[in-house]
Amino acid sequence: MAERAALEELVKLQGERVRGLKQQKASAELIEEEVAKLLKLKAQLGPDESKQKFVLKTPKETLMGKYGEDSKLIYDLKDQGGELLSLRYDLTVPFARYLAMNKLTNIKRYHIAKDFDIAGNFDPMIPDAECLKIMCEILSSLQIGDFLVKVNDRRILDGMFAICGVSDSKFRTICSSVDKLDKVSWEEVKNEMVGEKGLAPEVADRIGDYVQQHGGVSLVEQLLQDPKLSQNKQALEGLGDLKLLFEYLTLFGIDDKISFDLSLARGLDYYTGVIYEAVLLQTPAQAGEEPLGVGSVAAGGRYDGLVGMFDPKGRKVPCVGLSIGVERIFSIVEQRLEALEEKIRTTETQVLVASAQKKLLEERLKLVSELWDAGIKAELLYKKNPKLLNQLQYCEEAGIPLVAIIGEQELKDGVIKLRSVTSREEVDVRREDLVEEIKRRTGQPLCIC
């Protein structure tokens, strides 16, 4: 035990030396030499079996080869010691690796503010339908405008490419070109496939006949009768699953938000089945608004083969998930608020406790404590004698809707002056009725006594 403690202290000191050299921007040779010493000490130390600690690190080579042409979106950098690092592109590949490393076969996870995944062997399309339901619920609750969720299936795409005459080696690169149809015209996509990727013009034309179609379950049924596509096993499986998916989406009440779009390709290589992407429906820009051009606001799909890539025995764990485009949604909300000249609320505070005269700090503290005890989100300025104008200005800047004003006359009369920040209307409310009045105005449930 004493020997291990001594080694741990040496590792700690050597680690501090390496960090110090990096901060001093010492030569790469010197840093590499000291890092080697640190690694040697760590190897001597070995793992501490008494500590149940798990840290998931994803090397760059693990990320490469999973995103197709989107691999260019992985940004590389080196730290001061010359170690090659990468900014994480998404959370799906690390999640799949986590499942493989921990031999997990069933899990449902929600990553704060962004991702949702379901892993495990389940009956077809039930988890997929739930993911689409969740996506629609999130986008509807955000009230960012009308949206449409495009769906397709990688098996349908691969079957379509096969019957159109695309060679296996070109499937993924042609898939990446098709995925640009929501941004550029078919002619531009065709020119890229023919001019840059060496596809025969007649093959591109056959692809164009399919990828320019979109609709609902009726299009799925139409393609199930297509004399060529229906003869491809992969495409037939994909179309069968999509038909089932639409049945579940109808039961969930969201089929009117879904469009089967054969141009949707999702350029990431790890998708194996159903894929989907939510886009805002363009509406004429209101006065003062710039036309929105943010692209998709949510996307996802099925990736049944990714976990097996990290499992030593190649065991597969079917997975499906979605990701919300938080940054894009923020840009939409901010733009619309600016156009409407609305303030962005920076606090959840419902009421500011203010004073109209000096020497009323004790009364403000008493009142704010009463409001806190009643479950009201209240605050006050941390000054003994703030000016009333400054208190009101603070409410306007922070977006606090109400001000509870205490003055000498109000104290004598047993009332509180309640002010609406937006309308500037003021009413006297008896102190014992203040909590209920604030709840009524802010939409909180009233107390039934």
Binding residues for L-histidine: 90-92, 117, 266, 270-271
Which residue, among 58, 134, 116, 135, has the nearest Cα to 89 in the 3D structure?
58
CB 97 within 8 A of CB 58: yes
DSSP state of 282: P
* Cα–Cα distance for residue pair 155/160, rounded to 1 Å: 8
Structure-token match 């062997």, residue found: 121
* Cα–Cα distance for residue pair 424/427, rounded to 1 Å: 10
CB 190 within 8 A of CB 208: yes
Cβ count within 10 A of residue 439 = 17
3-state secondary structure (DSSP) of residue 321? strand
CB 75 within 8 A of CB 58: no
Beta-sheet strands, E only, within 6-74: none
**Residues contacting residue 388 through CB under 8 Å, at least 6 positions apart:** 354, 355, 356, 405
Binding residues: 90-92, 117, 266, 270-271
